[in-house]
């Protein structure tokens, strides 16, 4: 599954276009490397999302077969490794 689609399906980012913009801006890392929106996501990958004042790192627990997942099961697609506040300069 594509990274931008995974971020949307897992509800880490609300919209796919927003996920694509994050990737284009270099705000998404997969396994420590800046990733493009078309990168294939695999189980065990670590995704880091850099927002304005927050840095979230998650590990992919499962990749869904469909493009739609219920809200209840969306949280089962990943495990949060760290969620920290970042001071803005």
Please state which CATH number belongs to domain 3-85.
3.10.290.10
Give the pTM.
Answer: 0.89
Give the angle subtended at the CA of 47 by the CAs of 78 and 52, to the nearest 5°.
110
Q: Are 11 and 72 in contact (CB under 8 A)?
A: no
Q: Which residues contact 79 (CB under 8 A, 6 or more apart)?
A: 58, 59, 61
Residue 5 has pLDDT above 90, yes or no: yes
Share of the chain above pLDDT 90, in %: 75
Residue ranges of the domains in the chain? 3-85
Return mean pLDDT, the chain. 91
Q: Which residue from 56, 1, 63, 58 is spatially nearest to 27, judged by alpha carbons?
A: 56
């Amino acid at each position: 599954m594509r990274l931008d689609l995974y971020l949307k399906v897992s509800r880490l980012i609300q919209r796919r276009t927003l996920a694509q913009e994050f990737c284009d801006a270099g705000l998404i890392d997969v396994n420590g490397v800046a990733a493009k929106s078309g990168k294939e996501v695999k189980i065990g990958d670590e995704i880091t999302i850099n927002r304005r004042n927050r840095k979230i790192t998650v590990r992919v627990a499962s990749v869904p077969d469909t493009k739609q997942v219920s809200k209840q099961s969306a949280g089962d697609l990943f495990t949060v490794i760290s969620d920290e506040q970042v001071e803005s300069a």
